[in-house]
Amino acid sequence: MDALSEAHGGRPFYLTVSPADLEYLDTLLDSVNLVNMQTYAGGKDLTPGDFTSLGYTSDQLLYGICPETNCGTRTVEEVEAEYTDKNLAGVHLWRLNSDNYVQEGEVQAQIYAFLHP
């Protein structure tokens, strides 16, 4: 990634992963810049502590939220509280192209307003 960055005028390049579980994630610790925590669907029981216990730092973690209806994910308020409490790097939204684009747009607007007051 460093060589690629140099070849493109110093522009940084990042390697990210979006794991649904923690299997093998400890082997990537030195190779991954950011983790898009899949804290919805298959990874809905994962917490930031699960990732920091492997050696990742809070500034490498982006909290995942599923903006679809009936997704079984944490609420926007819960994600915002966890983001603030754990001093995470950011928030990522899973999929913005289901049949409920109105709800997805509302969730995206709420998260954006929270991150960019």
Which CATH number belongs to the domain containing residue 6 in this structure?
3.20.20.80
Of 52-56, 79-83, 90-94, give the lowest mean pLDDT range: 90-94
Determine the structural domain holding residue 22 and report its residue range: 2-115
Using the predicted structure, report yes or no on whether residue 66 has a pLDDT greater than 90. no
pLDDT band at residue 110, thresholds of 50, 70 and 90?
Answer: very high
Q: What is the widest separation between alpha-carbon atoms in the chain?
A: 45
- Residue 53 to residue 26: CA distance in whole angstroms: 9
The structure's pTM equals: 0.86
Domain count, the chain: 1
Q: Residue 23's pLDDT is what? A: 93
- Residue 107 to residue 68: CA distance in whole angstroms: 9
- Residue 96 to residue 103: CA distance in whole angstroms: 9
Beta bridge partners of 37: 63
- pLDDT tens digits along 32-65: 999 999 888 888 889 999 999 999 999 999 999 9
